[in-house]
């Protein structure tokens, strides 16, 4: 089973994805954190997420090579949090959209339960700078790619989850 939770920042998608995978999983699931520590504010966000999930998950961190990390935990359901941060990491490390697409395809081919979280950044204005436009475009394409391969897709707004696929 592959599932995607998509929504805006602070929409409640992470909490809802965590609850979903805990019901789906027969054992303690893997929390695959993609965030790289870049500044104090991001570090504070990470600490809040860690406190929210408590001891309910085995946490592993991987900023780029998702498929290899997921393979290491072949008997566990995996929550990938968050694909938007992963897209950011890939751009920061000068990876192309084709690199991202290839990595996601490797993840999607794995026969296991995976729940993905991604930010919906498509409802705003077109950013003024090229890097931000590149991020918005890549994030949107990755969201489409993952959603097309998922069994279920949920949109989260104001903490309310609505199944859209």
Distances (CA, A) of 100 to 94, 96, 119: 11, 7, 16
Instruction: Return the exposure string of 23-32: e unless at least 16 CB atoms fall within 10 Å of the residue's CB, then b.
Output: eebeeebbbb
For the four alpha carbons of 49, 135, 116 and 29, in that order, the dihedral sign comes to negative
Note the pLDDT tens digit of each residue in 110-130.
999 999 999 999 887 888 899
- Alpha-carbon distance of 34 to 51, in angstroms, equals 17
Partners of 155 in the β-ladder:
6, 162
pLDDT of residue 47: 75
Cβ–Cβ < 8 Å for 19, 154? no
Stretch 147-163: mean pLDDT: 97
- Alpha-carbon distance of 17 to 154, in angstroms, equals 9
Choose the catalytic residue: 43, 49, 73, 155: 49
Strand stretches in 42-96, DSSP E: 58-61, 78-81
Stretch 152-164: mean pLDDT: 97
pLDDT of residue 7 exceeding 90, the answer is yes
DSSP 56: S
Q: How confident is the model at residue 74 (pLDDT cuts 50, 70, 90)?
A: confident
Annotation says 49 is catalytic: yes
Q: Which residue has the tokens 């504010």?
A: 41
Residues 6+ apart with CB under 8 A from 68: 62
pLDDT of residue 150 exceeding 90, the answer is yes
Domains of the chain in start order, with CATH, are 2-163 (3.40.50.300)
Cα within 13 Å of Cα(18), Cβ side: 21
Q: How confident is the model at residue 37 (pLDDT cuts 50, 70, 90)?
A: low
Partners of 5 in the β-ladder:
117, 154
Q: How confident is the model at residue 51 (pLDDT cuts 50, 70, 90)?
A: confident
């Amino acid at each position: 089973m592959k599932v995607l939770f998509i929504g805006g920042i602070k929409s409640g998608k992470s909490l809802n994805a965590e609850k979903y995978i805990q019901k789906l999983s027969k054992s303690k699931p893997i929390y695959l954190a993609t965030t790289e520590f870049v500044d104090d504010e991001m570090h504070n966000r990470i600490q809040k997420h860690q406190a929210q999930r408590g001891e309910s998950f085995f946490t592993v961190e991987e900023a780029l090579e998702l498929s290899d990390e997921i393979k290491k935990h072949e008997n566990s359901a995996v929550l990938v949090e968050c694909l938007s941060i992963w897209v950011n990491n890939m751009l920061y490390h000068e990876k192309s959209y084709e690199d991202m697409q290839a990595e996601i395809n490797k993840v999607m081919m794995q026969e296991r339960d995976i729940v993905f979280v991604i930010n919906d950044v498509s409802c705003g204005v077109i950013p003024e700078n090229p890097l931000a436009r590149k991020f918005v475009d890549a994030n949107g394409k990755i969201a489409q790619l993952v959603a097309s391969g998922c069994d279920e897709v949920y949109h989260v707004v104001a903490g309310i989850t609505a199944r859209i696929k």
